[in-house]
Every structure is written in C-alpha cells, then in structure tokens.
Amino acid sequence: MSTSNAALKAASSSNAALNNWVAEVASLTQPDRIHWCTGSDAENASLISQMLASGDLVKLNEKTHPNCYLHRSNPTDVARVEHLTFICTRNREDAGPNNLWMDPAEANAKMDDLLRGAMKGRTLYVIPYCMGPIDSPHSRCGVEITDSAYVVANMRIMTNMGEAALKRIEREGTFVKGLHSTGDLDPKKRFIMHFPEELTIKSVGSGYGGNALLGKKCHALRIASWQARTEGWLAEHMLIMGVQNPQGQVHYVAAAFPSACGKTNLAMMVPPASMPGWKIWTIGDDICWLHVDSEGQLRAINPETGYFGVVPGTNAKTNANAYETIKKDTIFTNVAVTADNQPWWEGLSGTPALDWQGKPYTGNGPAAHPNARFTVSAKLNPAYSTMAEAPEGVPISAILFGGRRREVPPLVYQARDWGHGVLVGAGMASETTAAAVGEVGIVRRDSMAMKPFCGYNFGDYWAHWFSFEQRTQKLPKVFHVNWFRQDKNGKFMWPGFGDNLRVLKWIFDRCEGKVDAQDTAIGYLPHAKDLDVSGLNLDPATLEQLLSIDASAWRHEMADIGKYLNDFGQRTPERLREEHAKVVKRLG
C-alpha cells in the first residue's frame, strides 16, 4: 500500500501544516496504517485489547485492582537517558554546558536515517494534545506522532488528548511537533533530540516515560522553558500544592526537587495525626508553568492531567493518597507481581512471584525496578484540587528548592530575598537516582532541579529568573528543604513524608509573617521551638543538628558552587556572582 496516499486520505485536520507534516512523516517512516487519536473511551478500549493480545500489557487482578495493567519495558529501556538527550540549537552556546548539543542539520539527518522505514508493519498514531487546561491562555498544544500504543494510552492519562486539543490547534494554528518511534530498542540507536528554534522533538529507540511521552519532559520542560524565556514566563520541574491551615486559609506552594526526590509524595501527602485540621491539596506533582498576572501575582498551572509516579516505596504509611489512587484504572510499568497477579513492589508486605522482567523472583535484588512507575489520572487522587483546572492558575506564596543530601543543607532555610533565592536554586545539588540511566547516589549540581530539563544555557536561565524582579514587586518567598539528611549509620534523621507538613507549617507561618527566625550566613533558619515536633519521637540533639549549619562544610559548599558558576563563563549573570560573594563573605 502506498503510505503517502494513505496519509493524504487519512488527513483529518483543517490545519494544512499538520496534514503536511503527518504526510511527510508517513512517507519517511512507511507505516501500514495511520490513526488520528480522538481520545474516546472506545478508542482506548480497543488499544488496550490490542496491547493485551500483543503482550505489551498484562491484565492485573481485576478483583483487587480493577482496570489495571502491567507493561514490562525492554530491560535496557527503563529510565531517561541523559547521555542520549540533545538540545540542537544553531549556536552551540545557546544550549550551554548543561546540555549535550548537536548541530540541527546533523541531528535531523541522523534522526531521519534512524526513522526511515521505522514504522513498517506498524500503525502511525497522531496524538493532538494540550498541556494545561483546555481553556487556559497559559496552556500550549502539541502533536505527537508515535508508533507505540503504550504511548497513546499514557498520553491519554497524562494530557488533554484528542478532539478538543485538535480543535484548539486548528483555531490557534501553532503546535509543538513531536515525532517518536520505538525503533528496534537498540540502545546504540537511541536518541532524544530537541530543536527549540523549530519547536520540534524527535525521539527514537525508547518506549519509556520521559523519553517517549513527548508532552512531558521534552515539550513541557525542554521546549517550553525555551518558549517561556522568550515570552516572559517559567516552565519548571516543580510540584504545585495547596496547604490549608485549620482556619481554612490556603497558601499555594511550588517545589522543585530533582527526579525521584519527593515531589509526588509531598504534593499528595496526608497530614500527621498530631496536626488535626490541616489539609493538603494537589495541583500537580511534576511540572509547573509560572506566569505573572495583571496584578503582579505569580501564578501556576499544572500542564499535566495525570501522574507518572515512582512506585517503589509507595504504601499506606508513606503516601496513603497515592496508594489509594493506584488501586484502579492504573497502568503500571516494571513492577513485580504476586502469585495472584497483584502488582507488587518494595515497600509493600506480601511476596512477589515474578520480578519486573516477568521472571520467577529468586530473592536477589529488588523485584520491582527501582524506577517502576504508575500512570494514573490526577482526578483519582483523594487530595485532587479542582483548582488544577483553573485557567488562570493558583497564586504562589512560596517556592521551595530541595535535593537529596546526606549532609550539609539543614532541614529548611529561607532565602533573604528573590535574588538570594535564585542563588539557592542555582546552587542546589542532589544525589542521582534511578530515574535516569547511570550511577545512583552521586552528588551533582542540579540547578532548580532542571539539569536534565532546561532547554537552553543555564547562564541565560539564571538571568531569566532574576528578570522577575523587574516584572513584579510581589514575588513569592524562597526556601530550601532537605528531607534526606542521614546520621553516621546512614539512617534518615527526619521522618519525612506526612511529617514534612511540620516544615510546611513553618513556611506557611513565614508567609503570614507570624514567626521569626535565626539569621544565619546562609539565610533564615527556624528556631527549634518554632518547629512543631509534637507526637514525633525526635531527640533534641537530632533536631538541633537538622536545624544548624556547619560553617566549614558550608565554606566548601560555597567554593564548589563558585566553581560551578564559572563553568558557564560569560553567560553567568554578574548578579549571581554578587549573590554568591555575599554568602561567602557572611560565612567569613
């Protein structure tokens, strides 16, 4: 069958640019069929049964986990691949030392070679999607072309996918182009390429999460951060949550933690029993688009409609809301299963029968992959806030930065002002996790938790953050948190999870101007008496350690940050060096 004819016949949009692009891609990739996704229930049901037949999905126990499925990815394809992810700008400097770079012409040629004939025997799916509420001026649309039914099923949960998005694209005329093929899963032929100047993404050779669901990290962070810089807003790797006190007052908080460092858990947390009347509302768990409104208020929307969350560790104690949420209508990727076909992972009781690769579990190593994930609609979360659908977004009172650090950063501290806050975010570091391929537990700088996701030079990005001082007088307060301090025996010193609300309460009170703080060289720290530890079995010495700073360790930290800032040469804003110098001076 002639695919170019098929493409033209299948054209089902009034946008000529979109039809032409689909036809072009079809003639390059040579699919057997073209399917324009509508997002309907019937379409989803048909894709699911197709994937059950092909073995791409396994049905889980219908009694305990209704409408839940397991996808086992290729064992070489279980996480993001930062070493194969490129930003392809005309000028290399625009991508910056924080990104891998390739010349756009070279990258396009390389990808076209890999894509030629890649969809033979397969269906080419056209997925129109909208990141953000369908009626929000702050939302942005894209179209992903993929040959993976798993990608379609996930994009349906994670984005506003289908007819409404296509209508908006036809009305606006603009969209981000994302071309994805699973290829043959050969890691040597795997690349995730971004062309921010062309608003285009090309991804080949992986079917996994952030590599393949192009609306997520590729569009909503790498391409969107580029657009945001030109248009005057921010696209960030942040959760968004509402914190409500017993009097019913709500402050919205956005928090940037690196991958697998606690965003989903914080955004969905259940308050501890000793804090009655407090309530948490989830707006988003991974991505946040921030803009200044006409009153000068910084507001946030969540561009996603679902969660692609880390499964291991999730249980009724750590994250009861997530645990409840993923009991139905969930796609699990790379979890283990029990003898009666329930999904299983480390952190649950019971025993796994088959590991994440579907092999009998022998007791060696984890049964679920450490980066096993759930995909589930945000609306199933008991803490879901309908404000997640507000076209204008929610007003942000505080921004949190945080990493996974055994030592150095205290439990919480507050930046003196926005300028100092930019330094705190830029200087952030965290231990690497299983969310990306590579060694785990290595401390690295991860500015604003955007190291893998900023689509342009970090130097320019920091300058863009500073520019918000000129855009408004009403900027949120900035904090740094660290739930991951360890004692000499490698034990976490802070209980974390729901008990993190104790820290949020202090932050809440700082926003209200209700509590004072210790003025230290690195910023404002809580007085021990102001942190509510009632009902916690925390010895005073541990608390003291969590809330103090070691000047010598901090001098090292600041020296290391100074070196890091120098890596960006001329592009590092002078202002950032000044903020850095101020802290160095205060440390003496």
Least distance CB 433 / ligand GTP (angstroms): 7
For ligand GTP, what does the binding mask look like between residues 262 and 291, x meaning CB under 6 A?
A: xxxx-------------------xx-----
d(CA 21, CA 24): 5
For residue 530, give both structure tokens.
């102001």
Q: Which of 265/397 has CB closer to ligand GTP?
A: 265
Distance of CA 145 to the CA centre of its chain: 21
Q: Which of 194, 217, 416, 451 binds ligand SPV (CB under 6 A)?
A: 217
Least distance CB 211 / ligand SPV (angstroms): 7
The DSSP 8-state label assigned to residue 221 in this structure reads: I
**Can you tell me whether residue 299 is helix, strand or coil?**
strand
Q: Is there binding between residue 366 and ligand GTP (CB under 6 A)?
A: no
For ligand GTP, what does the binding mask look like between residues 317 and 336, x meaning CB under 6 A?
A: -x------------------
Q: Which of 94, 144, 147, 286 binds ligand SPV (CB under 6 A)?
A: 286
Yes or no: say if 312 and 367 are a contact pair by the CB < 8 Å rule.
Answer: no
The CA dihedral of 51, 52, 56, 57, to the nearest 10 degrees, is 120
d(CA 422, CA 358): 46
Rounded to the nearest 5 degrees, what angle is found at the Cα of 420, between the Cα atoms of 417 and 426? 135
Largest CA distance in the chain: 75
Identify the active-site residue in 68, 130, 261, 511: 261
Q: Is 261 a catalytic residue?
A: yes
Q: Is there binding between residue 304 and Mn ion (CB under 5 A)?
A: no
Least distance CB 183 / ligand GTP (angstroms): 24
Q: Is there binding between residue 210 and ligand SPV (CB under 6 A)?
A: yes
Q: Is there binding between residue 451 and ligand SPV (CB under 6 A)?
A: no
Q: Which of 218/260 has CB closer to ligand GTP?
A: 260
What residues from 262 to 301 belong to the interface with Mn ion (CB under 5 A)? 286
What residues from 71 to 110 belong to the interface with Mn ion (CB under 5 A)? none
Q: Which of 156, 190, 202, 216 binds ligand SPV (CB under 6 A)?
A: 216
Q: Which of 257/568 has CB closer to ligand SPV?
A: 257
Q: Is there binding between residue 389 and Mn ion (CB under 5 A)?
A: no
Q: 72: how many CB neighbours lie within 10 A of its CB?
A: 21
Sole window of 124-132, 209-217, 385-393, 483-491 interacting with ligand SPV (rule: CB under 6 A)? 209-217
Residue-wise burial string across 488-511, b where 16 or more C-beta atoms lie within 10 A, e elsewhere? eeeeebbebbbbbbbbbbbbbbbb
30: left (phi over 0), alpha (psi -120 to 50) or beta: left
What residues from 203 to 262 belong to the interface with ligand GTP (CB under 6 A)? 257, 259-262
Q: Is there binding between residue 128 and ligand GTP (CB under 6 A)?
A: no
Q: Which of 216/229 has CB closer to ligand SPV?
A: 216
For residue 246, give both structure tokens.
């017993």
> Which residue, chain included where needed, has tokens 């606690």?
262
Q: Is there binding between residue 496 and ligand GTP (CB under 6 A)?
A: yes
Q: Which of 72, 80, 168, 251 binds ligand SPV (CB under 6 A)?
A: 80
Q: Which does 318 bind (CB under 5 to 8 A by kind): ligand SPV, Mn ion, ligand GTP, none?
A: ligand GTP
Q: Is there binding between residue 242 and ligand SPV (CB under 6 A)?
A: no
Q: Which does 430 bind (CB under 5 to 8 A by kind): ligand SPV, Mn ion, ligand GTP, none?
A: none
Q: Which of 309, 419, 452, 476 binds ligand GTP (CB under 6 A)?
A: 309
Question: CB nearest ligand GTP: which residue?
Answer: 496
Q: Is there binding between residue 483 and ligand GTP (CB under 6 A)?
A: yes
d(CA 214, CA 195): 13
What residue type is 332 in one-letter code? F
Task: Give Cβ neighbours of residue 538 (< 8 Å, ≥ 6 apart).
Answer: 494, 495
Burial class (CB in 10 A: 0-12, 13-18, 19+), 536: middle
Q: Which does 217 bind (CB under 5 to 8 A by kind): Mn ion, ligand GTP, ligand SPV, none?
A: ligand SPV
d(CA 130, CA 215): 8
Q: Is there binding between residue 236 and Mn ion (CB under 5 A)?
A: no
Whose CA is closest to 411, among 569, 518, 299, 271?
518
d(CA 460, CA 99): 13
d(CA 338, CA 329): 19
Q: Is there binding between residue 147 and ligand SPV (CB under 6 A)?
A: no
265: left (phi over 0), alpha (psi -120 to 50) or beta: alpha
Sole window of 24-32, 146-154, 208-216, 499-507 interacting with ligand SPV (rule: CB under 6 A)? 208-216
Strand order in the sheet with 331-333: 58-59, 69-71, 331-333, 373-377, 306-310
Q: Which does 497 bind (CB under 5 to 8 A by kind): ligand GTP, Mn ion, ligand SPV, none?
A: ligand GTP
For residue 540, give both structure tokens.
């005073």
Q: Is there binding between residue 308 and ligand SPV (CB under 6 A)?
A: yes
Yes or no: say if 500 and 421 are a contact pair by the CB < 8 Å rule.
Answer: no
* Whole-angstrom Cα Rg for the chain: 23
Least distance CB 145 / ligand GTP (angstroms): 25
Q: Which residues bind ligand SPV (CB under 6 A)?
A: 80, 209-210, 216-217, 259, 286, 308, 435
Residues carrying an active site annotation: 261
Q: Which residues bind ligand GTP (CB under 6 A)?
A: 257, 259-265, 285-286, 309-310, 312-313, 318, 435, 483-484, 492, 496-497, 500
